[in-house]
Amino acid sequence: MDTLALLADGFATSLSPLNLMIVILGVTAGLFIGAMPGLGSVNGVAIVLPLTFIVPPSSAIILLCAIYYGAMYGGAISSILLGIPGASTAVATTFDGRPMAQQGKAGLALIAAAVASFIGGTISVVLFTLFAVPLADLALAFGPAEEFALVLMAFTTFVGLGGDDKLKTIIMICLGLVLSTVGLDLISGQPRLIFGDLPGFYSGISFLVLAIGVYGIGEILYTIESSRTAPQVTPAKITLNDLWSGIKTMNRMWRTMSLGSFLGFFVGMLPAAGATPAALMAYGMARSTSKDPKSFGKGNIEGVAAPETANNAASTGSLLPMLTLGIPGSPTTALLLGGMVMWGLMPGPMLFIEQPDFVWGLISSLYTANFAAVAINIALIPLFVWALRMPFTVLCALVMVLCIVGGFAPSQKMHDVWLIAGFGVAGYLLRKADYPLAPLVLALVLGPLMEKSFRQTLISEQGNVLAFVERPLSGTFIAIAALFFVLPLVKYLRKGGRRSIAPAE
Amino acid sequence: MIYKMTRRAALAGVASIAMIAAGATSALAEGWKPQKPIEMVIMAGQGGGADRLARLFQSMIQKEGLASMPMLPVNKGGGSGAEALRYLKDNEGDAHKIMATLNSYFTTPLRTDIGVDIEEFTPIARMAVDTFVLWVNADSDIQTMEDWVAAVQASGGSWKMGGTGTGQEDSLLTAMLEKEFGIEVTYVPFDGGGDVAKNLVGGHIDSTVNNPSEQMGFFKAGKSRPIAAFTTERIDAFPDVPTARELGHDIVYSMQRSFVGPKDMPAEAVAYYTEMFSKLNELPEWQAYTEDEALDRDFLTGDALQAYFLEEREKHAAILADMDADGAS
């Protein structure tokens, strides 16, 4: 086995004391960077970049990857504890992570996130190790038509089999798509829906702003209202026993986690997508294939496991096109690419042939990074949970501040702070009216990609709409999407026309 | 080769002037240093020529300690760079934002009504001039420009030519090709050159006019084939690839890679960045990179750069007017 021999050589590199120390350092830094709302892995990697010049090139890249990895683990922490996504990739983790924390199961949710991240990371690194080069060809097979079909599939998983009201889900998707068209048209460059000439809208509506608004602020408003004068916070305690039983609970979720890993890896591999859409799609998939879709959004542990496996798998996946094709799959990998070029490592099809030491050293370091991240993360869980024992009156103010800082930091514009406030109120009202919020966020994330790939396909196929079904790969996705959409109807007919789609018996 | 030597000499001249200029400005720069991370706005998406270059600059600046604060590259490629232009306009007087430009710096404000006049921005430095080459997938039968023209004609207008946003460099060059050969292609816009390169190798489009740096990795792996260069002389990296001019078609087009600041950027900050880039221009790593990736180093700053920008804007206005006239007929 050629690959295994190369990987063994790689471990000789990554297990050297310096590199091992670097991995532990990077993962820990990443964990905290990821946990801070508004400070994602992009900033983390950019800020640490100059420090890497004091170590050899391969160690430098290992450090950057370790931070990237650590941030994927860390994003879940504030999503679960505070209901504010720590990083864009952890938006889907708030859907069920936050309700779990409110039910006093924050520790379990954090364990689920850590273990799921570990599984996702490990499965994807194994895939990477075995199939990196052939998979690069699969990434190339994805043209605009395939991208569109994939996005369509993601939407139907939310509509078709979800437990929520279908009409309301579709309304929310449409609303999200409308929000995603705000800003400059991708193809012609003309401004759209900018409300006269409000400069803040030129760069569009960041979905992180929407997510912080509807989840962070909306959540606080809702909690204040539902608890009136004396807010109840379920005290969260955690013991070693809880840790162990939490890990055992994960044993039941192999199906969800392997689904999330594969999906995350493949979506992350596509240069246009990345970890955020991957996590949202995995959430949708987990819910639509679950026996009890109605419990999602109300604290189902699988709703934490699915996006967390997927975002870690996607972060490994996005390294694949960066290394094999020289095309970054995410903002962070674009930074890594710049660093590699600097050290004279030219990513692209020749990298695996010309620089095997570097490539395999990096791949093997992903294994060690995963072990380090899961160990550090679980060790710190009691500390994180302890933060929740603050009185609600204090926590509420803290969350409010973090929401505003987290929204302001990336763009440094007050415009986004006003938007967060607006979305917060809207989110609160929508939740009172029982509209699902996840499809709204999903549509804003995937909308630009969907619109662009749709138009690119129609332009290149001279307006032939059938192009989407004629190409084998995109045709398959469209067929699956159609299936997801009509399946509820079939179920409905089989059950002899009961009024609503009943949850599984 | 003769051309090459004269160009070197000219470069040396420009570089020495720049060094003198840098020497003069360094006294001014004493007093000012960035107080927070410097945002480097990139007018294009990830993975394209502009993006790779900007990130390479970022790494070099940080490695050599040319700036006292980290650089944060931010891609604002939407709407052929309109997103970045508008962002710079809305941050008037900001001393911590610089923007890496492409030729869409000229064309996007001309084509769209985003209310940006580039004359207001503060020119900092031009680092290089990039070249264009016609590429096809290595599996294609096309070997020469003639084959390409014949294939486009045979397709009856459905030939898929990929490139960056409509109205950006690639589409202008494509329009020039259409005019020169009396052909018609279907132009498919993508977010950045990296996306275009991937779609060519993946077989989703039939040809592109990528910059050499965008295709270099695939070219070395034998996955794409250069057909003709749109330069005055053959490109050193592809000695066997003829120029369009050699083939009797006078199409020459290049792309500037520069940095600008927002309107009313403080003079001390401009001096600081000018010095930073002139030091960067002297780095052996940068010089080696430009040789490998077929870029022309061509350093220019201050008023001379502004004059160059305005002249190029005129040229691009003429090209755009030509395109529109054709479109209307």
CATH class of this structure's domain B2-130+254-325: alpha beta
> Is residue A238 one of the residues assigned to a domain?
yes
Domain count of the fold of chain A: 1
**B160 Cβ under 8 Å from any chain A Cβ:** yes
Question: Mind giving me the DSSP string for B157-201?
Answer: T--EEEESSTTSHHHHHHHHHHHHHT---EEEE-SSHHHHHHHHH
Average pLDDT over every residue of B240-261:
94
| Count of A-B CB contacts under 8 Å | 178
Q: Name the minimum distance, in Å, from the CA of B288 to any CA of chain A.
A: 10
> Is residue A448 one of the residues assigned to a domain?
no
Q: If contacts are CB pairs under 8 Å, which of residues 44-103 in chain B contact chain A?
A: 46-47, 51-52, 54-56, 58-60, 62-63, 65, 70-73, 75-76, 78-83, 86-87, 89-90
Given a cut of 50, is residue B92 above it in pLDDT?
Answer: yes
Average pLDDT over every residue of A199-227:
82
The pLDDT score that the predictor gives to residue A200 is 77
Q: Are B188 and A327 an interchain contact pair (Cβ–Cβ within 8 Å)?
A: no
Average pLDDT over every residue of B223-228:
95
A302 contacts A253 by C-beta, under 8 angstroms = yes
Given a cut of 50, is residue A481 above it in pLDDT?
Answer: yes
Of residues B100 and A331, the one with the higher pLDDT is B100
Question: Which residues in chain A have Cβ-Cβ distances shorter than 8 Å to B73?
Answer: 46, 334-335, 338
The pLDDT score that the predictor gives to residue B80 is 79
Domain that holds residue A397: 2-143+184-289+300-408
Q: Tens digits of per-residue pLDDT, A265-301?
A: 988 887 666 788 889 889 988 888 888 878 888 889 9
Q: Tens digits of per-residue pLDDT, A79-124?
A: 898 888 877 788 899 999 988 988 888 888 999 999 999 999 999 9
The pLDDT score that the predictor gives to residue B4 is 46
For residues A317 and A262, give the distance between their C-alpha atoms in angstroms, rounded to a whole number.
10
- Which two three-digit tokens encode residue A75? 């994003």
Architecture of domain B133-253: 3-Layer(aba) Sandwich (3.40)
Question: Which residues in chain B have Cβ-Cβ distances shorter than 8 Å to A139?
Answer: 198, 202
**B272 Cβ under 8 Å from any chain A Cβ:** no
With the C-alpha atoms ordered B293, B299, B302, B305, is the resulting torsion angle positive or negative?
A: negative
- Domains in chain B: boundaries: 2-130+254-325, 133-253
Given a cut of 80, is residue A38 above it in pLDDT?
Answer: no
DSSP B291: H
Lowest-confidence region among A64-73, B10-19, B175-184: B10-19
> Is residue A453 one of the residues assigned to a domain?
no
Average pLDDT over every residue of A295-311:
91
**A54 Cβ under 8 Å from any chain B Cβ:** no
* Phi, psi angle pair for A420, to nearest 5°: -60, -45
Q: Tens digits of per-residue pLDDT, B176-188?
A: 999 999 999 999 9
Q: Are B73 and A456 an interchain contact pair (Cβ–Cβ within 8 Å)?
A: no
Tokens 């194994």 correspond to what residue? A126
How far apart, in Å, do the first and last CA atoms of chain B sit?
A: 43
**B293 Cβ under 8 Å from any chain A Cβ:** no
The complex's ipTM works out to: 0.79
For residues A399 and A408, give the distance between their C-alpha atoms in angstroms, rounded to a whole number.
14
Q: Which residues contact B284 (CB under 8 A, 6 or more apart)?
A: none
Lowest-confidence region among A191-200, A417-426, B237-246: A191-200
Tokens 């509209």 correspond to what residue? A435
The pLDDT score that the predictor gives to residue A375 is 92
Q: If contacts are CB pairs under 8 Å, which of residues 112-151 in chain A contact chain B?
A: 139-144
Given a cut of 60, is residue A162 above it in pLDDT?
Answer: no
Question: Mind giving me the DSSP string for A161-227?
Answer: S-SS-HHHHHHHHHHHHHHHT-EE-TTT--EES-TTT-GGGGG---HHHHHIIIIIIHHHHHHHHHH
> Is residue A170 one of the residues assigned to a domain?
no
Torsion angle of C-alpha atoms A133, A138, A140, A142, degrees rounded to 10: -160
> Is residue A428 one of the residues assigned to a domain?
no
Please tell me if the domain spanning B2-130+254-325 has the same topology as the one spanning B133-253.
yes
A97 contacts A76 by C-beta, under 8 angstroms = yes
Q: Are B167 and A189 an interchain contact pair (Cβ–Cβ within 8 Å)?
A: yes
Given a cut of 50, is residue B22 above it in pLDDT?
Answer: no
> Is residue A344 one of the residues assigned to a domain?
yes
- Which two three-digit tokens encode residue A303? 């709703």
Backbone Cα Rg of chain A: 22
Average pLDDT over every residue of B39-64:
84
Of B192, B189, B193, B197, residue with least CA distance to B221: B197
> Is residue A435 one of the residues assigned to a domain?
no
> Is residue A118 one of the residues assigned to a domain?
yes
Q: Are A341 and B56 an interchain contact pair (Cβ–Cβ within 8 Å)?
A: yes
